[in-house]
Amino acid sequence: MPAFYTTPQARRLAYHKTAGASPNLVFLGGFKSDMQGSKALFLESWAQQRGFSYLRFDYSGHGESSGVFTDGSIGNWAQDAEAIISEKTQGPIVLVGSSMGGWIALLLAQRLAGRVAGLMTIAAAPDFTEDAPDATARCQCRSANHQAPGQPQSRYQLPRQTTPYSAPDQPIPHDQR
């Protein structure tokens, strides 16, 4: 059974939070997807096995959260994500966005730049049609050795490991939702 968080915009979001070590892994689902999808659950299991904190949630109008899907927008769903991440996590975050969630992850990387320790997108579907050259510059990878001009450098770095993570020995199941 999920817990619930009410955003400053009075949207009630369903979520699951797994306690663990920093950085906090945050899954951002796709268009009409919910936090029960195979990618969200696979990543939760992966985080638990490695002792990382993990947050998955349903945007407003999705899954078990309040609201009507057709009343939503990218702007609303990005607000949902920023609000629940700010309230339910502390310290560095790693954003993992799937499809539309990749677009939202890029927006959050701008808004929460000082907290973002990592960014991973899966078949991201961002819309850069409004101001493509400027958006491309803002969304460049920022790390300790590289950051987009004029952008704040993250204060956080991922912990160094003695052995690298290995890729799964089987494909991650494709979410059919």
pLDDT in tens, the chain (177 residues): 999 999 999 999 999 999 999 999 999 999 999 999 999 999 999 999 999 999 999 999 999 999 999 999 999 999 999 999 999 999 999 999 999 999 999 999 999 999 999 999 999 988 766 554 444 444 443 333 344 445 445 444 444 444 444 444 444 454 533
pLDDT given for residue 86 in this prediction: 97
Q: Which fold has domain 3-138?
A: Rossmann fold (3.40.50)
Q: Taking the CA atoms of the chain, what radius of gyration do you get in angstroms?
A: 16
Residue 151 has what pLDDT?
Answer: 46
99: left (phi over 0), alpha (psi -120 to 50) or beta: left
Residue 126: predicted pLDDT: 81
This prediction has a pTM of 0.74
| Distance, CA of 114 to CA of 93 (rounded, Å) | 10
Q: What is the pLDDT of residue 127?
A: 76
Closest alpha carbon to 165 in 51, 13, 31: 51
Place of tokens 């999920």: 2
Q: 75, 76, 56, 55: which is closest to 66 by C-alpha? A: 76
